[in-house]
């Protein structure tokens, strides 16, 4: 049996400092302590804790497979402990994404976001993880489409014979809770027909078509559907495998040369421009945004994150680069344009999405004052 490695990225808003801004150090420390213990106990082999805005992110490498109850329990207990600390410090929104109380084996559907990928390691396996704050999973539809299906973005689709045959996309219909697989290039137009509707359809998995090699997974939870009301945006994560017959790291990053609009931002109720940033700038400020995205690169080596001589995982902060200054500038220019529109659509989301927000209570109060015209 070939050795199998699993990359699990599980995240949760457990409470934050000064509103929905950042996860403060004491909560990060709890996560690091728990994952270090799990490493000493050989449950996981390697980990990296970080935050993007108010979301605490647990990146774990192990050999237990996807949806493993012990791994999910480790994440759940860590989020609970961090939420308790947030409560004790009276931080804001303590335990915000912990929507269920009793853990029963799988953290999916309980509030936290999950992306997991089990792989057979290649000679060398470069990975990129994406993590965003103040937006929803549909925010990845455009870049993932461009990375794996757009030959104007990914030169390898044209130049590399190993990519001939294209990629297969699993798309979730989050409204009906159904999924479908479409293959590109043959079904590219149909794929766009679905995933252009970013609030409903979301890419959950991508495989290389010629050998079904798994190459991308995304978290596709809709918190509002679990909770039945607005409880913060989903703030999605994704894991993407790179190079050697897959899109190069630079092709994975190329869609972020320009900003584009995503749903989320203030009160999860607006279209906002995505801003690719370094970890140090992964904090939402202006109008609770603009929505931020981080890309981290690492190598998976013998079921671990490749480490330096001192055993420290080597993580590349990929958007920590002036090459993304244009996107950041575009994000601010678009932010300025949208904020000039205030609460008028299309700056604010359309009525279907606003149904899940507190706006509904305001509209309900006005209902009885309407008279036949």
Shortest distance in whole angstroms from residue 109 CB to ligand F6R: 20
Mapping DSSP to helix (H, G, I), strand (E, B) and coil, where does residue 373 land?
coil
Tell me: does residue 270 bind ligand F6R (CB under 6 A). no
- Dump the DSSP string for 47-114: EEEEEETTEEEEEEEESS-TT-HHHHHHHHHHHHHHHHHHHHTT-BTTTTT---SS--S--TTSSSEE
Distance CA 138, CA 261 (A): 11
Q: Select from 125, 251, 263, 288 the one that contacts ligand F6R (CB under 6 A).
A: 288
Q: From the candidates 233, 234, 283, 288, which is the catalytic residue?
A: 233
The binder of 288, among ligand F6R, Mg ion, none, by C-beta within 5 to 8 A per type, is: ligand F6R
Q: Select from 6, 11, 20, 195 the one that contacts ligand F6R (CB under 6 A).
A: 20
The binder of 351, among ligand F6R, Mg ion, none, by C-beta within 5 to 8 A per type, is: none
Q: Select from 55, 116, 263, 288 the one that contacts Mg ion (CB under 5 A).
A: 55
Torsion angles phi and psi, residue 318, rounded to 5: -70, -30
Give the interface segment with ligand F6R, choosing from 143-151, 217-225, 264-272, 321-329 (CB under 6 A). 264-272
Give the interface segment with ligand F6R, choosing from 26-34, 36-44, 262-270, 342-350 (CB under 6 A). 262-270
* 367 included as an active-site residue: no
Tell me: does residue 267 bind ligand F6R (CB under 6 A). yes
Tell me: does residue 65 bind ligand F6R (CB under 6 A). no
# residues near Mg ion by CB under 5 A: 9
Residues 79 to 138: which contact ligand F6R by CB under 6 A? 134
Nearer to ligand F6R among residue 132 and residue 327 (C-beta): 132
Q: Select from 202, 266, 318, 347 the one that contacts ligand F6R (CB under 6 A).
A: 266
Distance CA 30, CA 95 (A): 14
Angle at 169 between CA 186 and CA 137, to 5 degrees: 135
Tell me: does residue 249 bind ligand F6R (CB under 6 A). no
Tell me: does residue 318 bind ligand F6R (CB under 6 A). no
Q: Residue with structure tokens 């043959």? A: 186
Q: Is the dihedral of CA 327, 246, 131, 111 positive or negative?
A: positive
Shortest distance in whole angstroms from residue 181 CB to Mg ion: 30
Q: Select from 166, 268, 290, 297 the one that contacts ligand F6R (CB under 6 A).
A: 268
Burial string for 296-326 (b: 16+ CB within 10 Å, else e) reads bbbbbbebbbbeeeeeebebebbbbeeebee
Distance CA 190, CA 182 (A): 8
- Dump the DSSP string for 212-259: TEEEEEE----HHHHHSS--S----EEEEE-SSSS--HHHHHGGGGS-
* 13 included as an active-site residue: yes
CA dihedral 70→75→78→80, nearest 10 degrees, is -100
Tell me: does residue 232 bind ligand F6R (CB under 6 A). yes
Tell me: does residue 263 bind Mg ion (CB under 5 A). no
* 230 included as an active-site residue: yes
CA Rg value for the chain: 20
| Residues assigned a catalytic role | 13, 230, 233
Tell me which residues touch Mg ion (CB under 5 A): 13, 20, 54-55, 93, 96, 133, 232, 235
Tell me which residues touch ligand F6R (CB under 6 A): 19-20, 134, 232-233, 266-268, 288
């Amino acid at each position: 049996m070939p050795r199998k490695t699993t990359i699990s990225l599980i995240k949760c808003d457990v409470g934050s400092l000064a509103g929905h801004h950042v996860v403060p150090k004491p909560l990060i420390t709890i996560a690091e302590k728990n994952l270090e213990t799990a490493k000493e106990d050989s449950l996981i082999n390697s980990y990296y804790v970080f935050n993007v805005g108010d979301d605490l992110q647990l990146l774990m490498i192990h050999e237990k497979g996807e949806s493993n109850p012990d791994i999910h329990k480790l994440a759940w207990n860590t989020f609970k402990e961090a939420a308790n600390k947030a409560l004790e410090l009276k931080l804001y929104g303590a335990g915000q994404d912990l929507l269920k109380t009793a853990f029963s084996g799988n953290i999916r559907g309980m509030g936290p976001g999950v992306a997991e990928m089990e792989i057979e390691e290649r000679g060398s396996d470069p990975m990129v993880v994406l993590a965003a704050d103040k937006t929803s999973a549909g925010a990845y539809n455009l870049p993932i489409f461009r990375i794996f299906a757009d030959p104007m973005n990914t030169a390898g689709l044209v130049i590399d014979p190993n990519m001939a045959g294209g990629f297969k996309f699993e798309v979730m219909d989050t409204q009906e809770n159904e999924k479908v697989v479409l293959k590109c290039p043959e079904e590219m137009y149909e794929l766009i027909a679905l995933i252009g509707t970013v609030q409903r359809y979301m890419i959950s998995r991508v495989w290389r078509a010629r050998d079904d090699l798994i190459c991308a997974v995304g978290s596709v939870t809709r918190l509002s559907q679990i909770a039945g009301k607005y409880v913060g945006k989903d703030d999605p994560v994704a894991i993407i495998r790179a190079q050697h017959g897959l899109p190069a790291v630079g092709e994975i990053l190329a869609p972020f040369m320009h900003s584009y609009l995503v749903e989320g931002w203030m009160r999860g109720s607006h279209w906002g421009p995505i801003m690719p940033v370094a970890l140090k700038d992964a904090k939402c400020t202006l109008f609770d945004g603009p929505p931020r995205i981080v890309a981290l690169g690492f190598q998976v080596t013998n079921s671990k994150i490749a480490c330096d001589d001192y055993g420290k995982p080597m993580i590349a902060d990929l958007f920590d680069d002036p090459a993304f200054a244009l996107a950041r500038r575009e994000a601010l220019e678009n932010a300025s344009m949208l904020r000039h529109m205030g609460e008028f659509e299309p700056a604010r989301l359309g009525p279907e999405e606003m149904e899940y927000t507190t706006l509904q209570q305001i509209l309900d109060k006005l209902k009885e004052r309407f008279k036949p015209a």
